[in-house]
Amino acid sequence: MRLQLDKALQAQGFGTRKACRLLVNRGAVNVNGVLADSPDAAVESDGLVLTVEGVDWPFHERLYLALHKPAGVECSHTPTHHPSVFSLLPAPFVTRGVQCVGRLDADTSGLLLLSDDGAFIQRLTSPKHKVPKTYLVTCAEPVTQALVERLSGGVQLNDAPEPVAGQGERVSERALRLTIHEGKYHQVKRMVAAAGNHVVALHRERVGALELPAALTTGTWQVLDGPALALVKATP
């Protein structure tokens, strides 16, 4: 797609059209490594790399991110007790309107997807699509076979008409892996409580077909593209 440089900058989150024009006019922008001299220049978005104040920003028409969420940050723009996950992202990503794909509790760590593609967010979070989400659950009491069977058989939650089930697997004395297909408020904690135990730590390992990338250390993010993006997009 061909577009005007100031519009390309604006689409990538560098502020208002006026602010983007100023950036170019004061010599702060390179286009594919060459200093840009006019905000009105036409650029091709395919393969485009904008350099703004020395930092490279590959152009993404829509942005898809995987974040390794630490415990102790909130999935909200207006957090109450902890910093916001958005404070872990570069400012242009926030300006362009990236949102969490579902929420994790403040004390939950692990894979969090973010995007500015509304249809993608809708598809991954809609109950209709039953996207599987896998958690490593650390419990206060020993994980028994009976606990795993209760979770697999379904437990009654007060906001669900039918029992809610998950695929559980014992991992160690006090840990289990649980896959659920809904995204209800505090779902894993409430399911484990209803099955007679108590969650002391929760870590999301997988969303759909995408596993938390091993290279993502806690608090870091990566842009999803190529095969990793195909994996999440292929999610039912």
Catalytic residue flag (residue 159): no
Is residue 186 near ligand URA by the rule CB under 6 A? Answer: yes
Is residue 169 near ligand URA by the rule CB under 6 A? Answer: no
Q: Name the packing angle between helices 145-153 and 187-194 (round to 10°).
A: 120
User: Which of 202, 207, 210, 224 touches ligand URA by CB under 6 A?
Assistant: 202
- Cβ 208 to ligand URA shortest distance, Å: 15
Q: Which of 37, 40, 105, 117 is catalytic?
A: 105
> Which 114-153 positions form the footprint of ligand URA (CB under 6 A)?
none
Beta strands in 60-118 (DSSP E): 64-69, 99-100, 108-115
Instruction: Single out the residue of 115, 104, 122, 120 nearest to residue 68, CA to CA.
Output: 104
Is residue 187 near ligand URA by the rule CB under 6 A? Answer: yes
User: Which of 189, 208, 210, 224 touches ligand URA by CB under 6 A?
Assistant: 189
- 29 or 202: whose CB is closer to ligand URA? 202
Place of tokens 């939650």: 157
- Cβ 54 to ligand URA shortest distance, Å: 37
Instruction: Single out the residue of 65, 59, 64 nearest to residue 9, CA to CA.
Output: 59
- 21 or 204: whose CB is closer to ligand URA? 204
User: Which of 66, 114, 136, 188 touches ligand URA by CB under 6 A?
Assistant: 188
Is residue 177 near ligand URA by the rule CB under 6 A? Answer: no
Is residue 104 near ligand URA by the rule CB under 6 A? Answer: yes
Query: Do residues 64 and 99 lie in contact, with contact meaning Cβ atoms separated by under 8 Å?
Result: no
CA angle, 151 as apex, 146 and 153 as ends, to 5°?
Answer: 90
Query: Do residues 85 and 74 lie in contact, with contact meaning Cβ atoms separated by under 8 Å?
Result: yes
C-alpha–C-alpha distance, residues 236 and 234, integer Å: 6
Query: Do residues 9 and 20 lie in contact, with contact meaning Cβ atoms separated by under 8 Å?
Result: yes
- 115 or 187: whose CB is closer to ligand URA? 187
Percentages helix, strand, coil for the chain (3-state, rounded to 5) are 25, 30, 45
Q: Which stretch binds ligand URA (CB under 6 A): 17-25, 51-59, 185-193, 221-229?
A: 185-193
Q: Which stretch binds ligand URA (CB under 6 A): 40-48, 122-130, 161-169, 184-192?
A: 184-192
C-alpha–C-alpha distance, residues 163 and 30, integer Å: 57
Please provide the DSSP assignment of 80-147 as one string. Answer: SSS-BGGGGS-HHHHHTT-EESS---TTEEEEEEEES-HHHHHHHH-GGG---EEEEEEESS---HHH
User: Which of 14, 24, 59, 108 touches ligand URA by CB under 6 A?
Assistant: 108
Q: Which stretch binds ligand URA (CB under 6 A): 20-28, 59-67, 90-98, 101-109?
A: 101-109
Residues that bind ligand URA (CB under 6 A): 104-105, 108, 186-189, 202
Positions annotated as catalytic residues are: 105
